[in-house]
Amino acid sequence: MASSWEHFGEVANVAQLTGIDAVRLIGMIVKAASTARMHKKNCRQFAQHIKLIGNLLEQLKISELKRYPETREPLEQLEDALRRSYILVNSCQDRSYLYLLAMGWNIVYQFRKAQNEIDRLLRLVPLITLVDNARVRERLEVIEKDQREYTLDDDCQKLQTVILKPEPDKEDSVVLKKTLSCSYPNVPFSEALKKENEKLQLELQYSQAIMDIHQCEFIQRLLDITEVAAYSPEKAHKKVEYSNYSYSDAGGGGKSHSSAEKEKPYKKSDTFPASSYKPGKLALH
């Protein structure tokens, strides 16, 4: 079963990053952070911390560190953690917007965990902690003191609440629709909805492959949201200009969800399907 990363044209999993050293991985993380669509602040915070580690490692000869088992093994563990971190940061650009929004606090936790793990593994590399070099020791101290704050901003918290509501009302539907439009700037809403649906289908396929029933139900809930949005009254959509979260307003009637039903106007009672699904653990596939 191919993972969603292959469909996105990106690195499919941690194993496919094997052979890339720590310094290059850090460069990849920094670049991915600069293009993040979601958790932009968390990505920048993480990238800034990782750059401090990159500056330290560039002073040392990694090829020399890998010559000896006592330094090679902890360095390889550090590189594994950096690979997982790259996939985490890259996910904030490529994965489903609604999925990333709904998984908000889980992703925040993943950033905190990633920084703690990388800092811990860095201290396990003997040559780094024991080297008799004032500049190296100074940079190590700066890294240890650089405690970044990862959180979910107020707007994302509000939107996450709307997504997880058992029965969102019409106003909630409009808010989510506008937010989804904004996540795909300068793209017609119908195309944005198609892209989002495709990404959610990939998330669903992955969850089915690992037989995570709870996550499958949760992702299906998000798919329901995109389907209802497709049949809301705003039918003739223009391209959305991404400027201070301004959106185009369009009128027109919508069609019923079921193709067997006759065309009917959107009613106030037409809301997202009721659900008590909650997000599970973020899968870094």
Task: Give 108-159 pLDDT, tens digit per residue.
Answer: 999 999 999 999 988 877 666 555 567 777 888 888 889 899 999 888 888 8
Q: Residues 6 or more apart from 52 whose CB is under 8 A from it?
A: 139, 142, 143, 146
- pTM higher than the cut 0.95: no
In angstroms, the CA 129 to CA 56 distance is 11
Between residues 79 and 230, which one has the greater pLDDT?
Answer: 79
Task: Report angle CA 45, 282, 14 to the nearest 5 degrees.
Answer: 80
In angstroms, the CA 51 to CA 118 distance is 12
CA 168 to chain centre: 24
Q: How far is CA 198 from CA 41, 50, 145, 238, 240, in A?
A: 26, 32, 42, 21, 20
Helical ranges in 125-255 per DSSP H: 126-130, 134-145, 154-164, 170-182, 189-209, 213-230
236 band by pLDDT with thresholds 50, 70 and 90 = very low
In angstroms, the CA 68 to CA 79 distance is 16
Closest-CA residue to 180 (of 256, 101, 108, 273): 101
pLDDT value, residue 249:
36
pLDDT value, residue 268:
34
Structure tokens at 273: 């399907």
Q: How far is CA 123 from CA 71, 126, 141, 206, in A?
A: 11, 7, 11, 35
247 band by pLDDT with thresholds 50, 70 and 90 = very low
Coil, strand or helix at 78? helix
Closest-CA residue to 177 (of 231, 118, 221): 231
pLDDT value, residue 32:
95
pLDDT value, residue 83:
94
Mean pLDDT of 23-41: 93
In angstroms, the CA 257 to CA 48 distance is 46
Backbone angles phi, psi at 265, to 5 degrees: -70, 155
In angstroms, the CA 163 to CA 172 distance is 8
Closest-CA residue to 38 (of 82, 118, 83, 97): 97
Q: What percent of the chain has pLDDT over 70?
A: 71
Mean pLDDT of 73-94: 91
Residue 237 has pLDDT above 70, yes or no: no
Give just the sign of the alpha carbon dihedral 153, 159, 163, 164. Answer: positive
Backbone angle region of 119, left / alpha / beta, with phi > 0 → left and psi within -120 to 50 → alpha: alpha
In angstroms, the CA 276 to CA 221 distance is 9
pLDDT value, residue 66:
76
Decide if 184 contacts 168 (C-beta within 8 A): no
Backbone angles phi, psi at 160, to 5 degrees: -65, -40
Domain ranges of the chain: 4-145, 153-280
